[in-house]
Amino acid sequence: MKREKLSRPASRWLGILVVVGLLFAGCRRPPSSTLNGYVEGDYVYVAAPVSGRLETLAVRRGQAVTNGEPLFQLELEPEQARVKEAESRVQGARALLADLLKGRRDSEKSSVRAQLAEAEAALSLAAAERQRQVSLSDHQAASRQERERAEALERQADERVRRVRADLDTAELGARVDQVAAAEAEVRTLEAAAGRVRWELEQKQVRSAYDTPVHDTLYRPGEWVAAGKPVLVLLPPGNIKIRVFVPEERLGSLQLSDRAFVQADGTTQSTEATVNFVSNRAEYTPPILYSRDKRDRLVYLVELALPPADAPRFHPGQPVDVTFMAR
């Protein structure tokens, strides 16, 4: 029995179908457990809360610094002068308060005591004169007016003694309560102002709060730095992390604290990392249709923390391969 030959157009279509089938077979490879990610860093921008001219930059880009090591210093002269002025004001207010609490000087008290002795002597003389005029008036040897005049002089002398004694009591005491309270409030206000100026002086000398290399420097000595403007940038090892976008179909198998192996290009050693963030918002690469057969375009951001000892080996922007470990 002879086989029937296919026509030329039919054989051509058969070849096309075979090629297309092979292409589809090659494209539909089994999904890999390794995902592509990259290194990211949360930078620390070091600034001073006060403005001034950059006097000293103690570090350079790429230099490793330790916690507490000086980083930079702004000019100190304006704040140093303000500190001296504020401390002088505090000393003056304290001296005034002490003077109010002590009362008058000893010389002033002595003067008031002398006035009191003089007034008492005048009172004694006026009392004697009154008695003499009363005796004369009883014997009809003096007029009634002379007697009344002596009595009036005695009353005046007695009032003067009372007034000088009150002045002496006041001199022995300190200032009034309201004056003392006002002076104490003034001292507290000036002390707070002096503390504020001293704090501003301390803020012009900035030290590192991390053990980390200096990522970048943004100013040079001699340049003016505005308050709050970063002078240099740090990247602590603990702020280096791995970011990877996980397909929607694998999101349900990931949990916080899951472990994964991270490997950078050009290295044969893998570093173990830990999942510390899983985004709850989907991202996608357009175009996308929300249909069941297009869900593979949905991806979710996952971040992994690196061990502090291994973090310095990774650099922001570096591509890495991430392999999640099965639980």
Residue 20 belongs to some domain of the structure = no
- With respect to residue 167, please indicate whether it lies within any of the assigned structural domains: yes
- With DSSP H G I counted as helix, E B as strand and the rest as coil, what are the percentages for the chain, rounded to 5? 45, 25, 30
* Stretch 61-75: mean pLDDT: 95
First to last CA, the chain: 63
Q: Which one, of 269, 268, 279, 278, lies nearest residue 309 by Cα?
A: 269
Q: 8-53: per-residue pLDDT in tens?
A: 554 454 445 444 454 444 444 444 578 889 999 999 999 999 999 9
**pLDDT for residue 107 is more than 80:** no
Q: Are residues 184 and 117 in the same domain?
A: yes
Domain of residue 137 covers 84-198
Q: State whether residue 305 is helix, strand or coil.
A: strand
- pLDDT at residue number 168: 73
β-partners of residue 232 are 46, 217
192 and 88 assigned to the same domain? yes
In a domain, 141, yes or no: yes
Specify the higher pLDDT residue, 23 or 196. Answer: 196
> How many domains, the chain?
2
Question: What is the value of pTM for the model shown?
Answer: 0.63
Domain at 284, CATH number: 2.40.30.170
Whether residue 183 is contained in a domain is answered as: yes
Can you give the pLDDT at residue 30?
A: 40
Q: Is the dihedral of CA 175, 176, 181, 182 positive or negative?
A: negative
Looking at the fold, whether 250 and 180 belong to one and the same domain comes out as no
Q: What is the pLDDT of residue 71?
A: 96
Whether 212 is covered by a domain: the verdict is: no
- The answer to the question of residue 7 being in a domain is no
Same domain, 245 and 193: no
Average predicted confidence (pLDDT) for the chain: 82
Please classify residue 80 by burial: count the beta carbons closer than 10 Å to its beta carbon, then call 0-12 exposed, 13-18 middle and 19+ buried. Answer: middle
Residue 104's pLDDT band (cuts 50, 70, 90):
low
What tokens were used for 243? 């970011």
